[in-house]
Structure 1
Amino acid sequence: MRRRLWGWLVATCMVLSPVGCATTSAPPQTRSLVVEAAPATALDAGVAMLTARGFVIRRADADLGDVEAALAVRPTLAVRYRLEATEQGTRITLSGQRGGQPVPPYVFDALLIDVQERLGELP
């Protein structure tokens, strides 16, 4: 009796053990743009663009040049707006997730055009 119970316990553990490792999240896909504006100006334009489009700013760090925002739709769209000073200007990088999956980069094109317009840098 003990031997059967022990065998059943070992078999159950072997079957259930790989369940936690079966899912992995895909890396975020990004879309970037370099603008002539200073990082602080680009940050203000990005926050204004996101709030005008209905996003709720969850976190904004001017020192790090990083903004996290969410749009309350089903499934929730979470967007990350990052800034990096470069020799050419300020690099704006957008990435995001919807329903735990990366958002395709083309989704961010309209957002980047909006930021360019707010900065007066449309071609």
Structure 2
Amino acid sequence: MSRLLCLLLLSLLLAGCATPVTREPPRELDFAYAPEATLRASAQVLMANGYVVRHADADLGRLEAVFSRWPGYRVLVEVSGEGEQSRVSLAATRGGRPLPPQTLDRLLVEMQDQLGMWR
């Protein structure tokens, strides 16, 4: 009986660990700039803020960067669009858990400023 109780208690404990993480919606913003310029501005803003770009693919419009100091933030940037219009989407995690989208607003404002300097 004691064994059954321990097994039941252990399974309940492990089931609590297996709950799925809720996914926050990404923060999106439209720009009146070409997707390539928007992706380049995203990389420059992230690097200026202490992020290290781990992966970037201009053809896919994707960029992944991690914060170089503690706590280890990870930012995923996706850029889509055609011609002189683009949409940038930012999502961030820390330790595998999603960060609230409003934490990315400062980066989006800096991207707008960076793109404005190129005009």
Please give the TM-score of this superposition, normalised by the length of structure 2.
0.80
Larger radius of gyration: 1
| Corresponding residue of 1:4 | none
* Partner of residue 111 from structure 1, selected from 104, 107, 113: 107
**Counterpart among 50, 74, 91 of residue 95 in structure 1:** 91
Q: In the TM superposition, what is the alpha-carbon distance from 1:88 to its structure 2 partner? A: 8.2
Distance 2:34 2:47 in 1: 20
2:30/2:85 contact within 8 Å kept: yes
Identity of aligned residues (%): 33
| Residue segments in structure 1 that go unaligned for 5+ positions in a row | 1-6
What's the CA shift for 1:117? 1.3
The letter of the residue matching 1:21 is A
Counterpart check, 1:13 vs 2:7: yes
CA distance in 1, matches of 2:41, 2:10: 50
Give me the CA root mean square deviation: 2.3
Deviation at 1:86, TM superposition (A): 6.1
1:96 to partner: Cα distance = 0.5
Residue 27 of structure 1: aligned partner: 23
The match for 2:44 among 41, 45, 48 is 48
Q: How many residues align?
A: 115
